[in-house]
Amino acid sequence: MKFKSITMILTILLFTCGISEFMMIFMKFKIPATMITISTILLVIGSTYEFMSTRKLRKLSYPLIIIYFLVGIPIIEKFINNLVLFICFVVLSFILTMVFLYSELKIINKEKNSPN
């Protein structure tokens, strides 16, 4: 199967969805819930195909990050009554996710530039 072409098509669709969502936020339109659901499903499917083509287990961490931010954070919000503490928790989660993604990009860059 041609997993790379499927992954590339899903990436292009996600990029288009992301640009349209950004423009809707910028123009102060309400983003439909179906659009967010579709982009989430495309992210999960794209990372699963990426895992199938590379056989690297770290590619499956992307859907877990998505689920954490879309499901976990709203559940945690209900348990934390202090708004400042909740915002600090969300910012810390975001920083940790960015550190993980940065290290992932460094690993991918090393793999692409290796002499193999």
- The amino acid present at 22, given as its one-letter code, is F
- Spell out the per-residue pLDDT of the chain, length 116, in tens: 555 677 778 878 888 888 888 888 889 888 788 887 888 888 888 888 877 877 777 778 877 887 888 788 888 888 888 889 999 999 999 999 999 889 888 887 887 787 76
Domain borders along the chain are: 3-113
pLDDT of residue 2: 54
pLDDT of residue 1: 52
Residue 90 neighbours by CB distance under 10 Å: 15
Distance CA 101, CA 68 (A): 15
pLDDT of residue 115: 72
- Residue 16 tokens read as 């288009």
pLDDT tens digit sequence for 46-76 = 888 877 877 777 778 877 887 888 788 888 8
**H-type alpha helices, the chain:** 3-26, 33-54, 61-67, 73-79, 83-113
CB–CB of 89/76 below 8 Å? yes
